[in-house]
Amino acid sequence: MTSLVLHKISDSTGETLDVVARACLVQFSDVKVIEKRWSMVRNGEQIDCILAEIEKNPGFIIFTLVDDGLTEKLVYGCKKLQVPCVDLLNPVLGQLGNYLGIARGRRPGSQHVLDADYFSKIAALHFVLAHDDGQSLQDIDDADVVLMGVSRTTKTPTCIYLANRSIKAANVPIVPGMTVSDEILKAKRPLIVGLTKDPRRLVQIRRQRLKMQGHLEQSDYVDLDAVAQEIREAKRLYAQNGWPVIDVTRKSVEETAATILNLYNERLEASY
């Protein structure tokens, strides 16, 4: 297996680098990645320390620095060390500034200013946590999105991802032998989406979870026939209520969330 040392250098939190790196590395599944993260880099002394570490552990460098002086120092240092160094931010900022005819700002971390969007995301995250796993159904009509699904269909992580897009999401488990509450069936405001997954894959995931918890006994929770019946009943519920369905078997959380956002936006546009 090929190994890669990836140095991520940012004058802020490094979240932009994380997103780009994750999107790129998923295309190289056979590569073992060793990540070196450098955040809040604001002066030349820090660049010197980073270059010293890169010399000891050379690899691929990606960075987001808005200070031209620090950028030049890093790029020159990497050139001397003969390691690739990719600026992810400044080329786009430069082209955008040229197009707009406006000089760009040079405030490190300015994308993380505590503005209305930030507080909207925090409020959405609080909503997700308060409405995880079927909690607080009395105000479920305040949700933007409600995810339905049997156990281990990525409901919670998808809700958390949606919260980062300022979407107030709740999730409700579908449990064999239990009816869905009237609060869900009568909800008018939220987009309700049903999640499903291939039964064989679902059994594998559930077995792995039980193994991690030290529970190895056989039960309907990991019986293929019982799980397949769970999925069939869930799909029947979705069809009866006209809820859109997403098969998450081969989807990442990001892909599932993107599909949900498309459905949500289409619903908003249709209501105008």
Question: What share of the chain has pLDDT > 90, as a percent?
Answer: 67
The answer, yes or no, to whether residue 189 has pLDDT greater than 90, is yes
pLDDT value, residue 49:
96
pLDDT digits (tens, 9 = 90+) for 97-133: 788 887 666 555 555 445 567 778 888 989 999 999 9
Give the pLDDT confidence score for residue 213 in this predicted structure: 77
What pLDDT shows up at residue 171? 96
Signed CA dihedral, 99, 103, 106, 110: sign only: negative
**pLDDT at position 94:** 75
Q: How is 111-172 classified by DSSP, letter by letter? A: GG---HHHHHHHHHHHHHHHTGGG--GGGGGG-SEEEEESTTSSHHHHHHHHHTTT--EEEE
Q: To the nearest whole number, what is the mean pLDDT of the chain?
A: 89
Asked whether 125 and 168 are in contact (CB, 8 A), the reply is no
Q: What's the fold here for domain 2-112? A: Rossmann fold (3.40.50)
Where does CATH 3.40.50.2300 sit in the chain? 2-112
CATH class of 116-271: alpha beta
CA angle 40, 41, 44 (to 5 degrees): 155
CA dihedral of residues 204, 19, 87, 121 (deg, nearest 10): -170
What are the Cα distances from residue 132, in Å, to 106, 137, 159?
40, 10, 8
For the CA atoms of the chain, what is the radius of gyration? 23
pLDDT of residue 269: 82
**C-beta separation of 268 from 167 below 8 A:** no
Q: Phi and psi dihedrals of 56, rounded to 5?
A: -75, -35
For residue 27, report the phi and psi dihedrals to the nearest 5 degrees.
-80, -5
Alpha carbon distance 116, 236 (integer Å) = 41
pTM of the model: 0.64
Higher pLDDT, 242 or 113: 242
**Which pLDDT belongs to residue 20?**
86
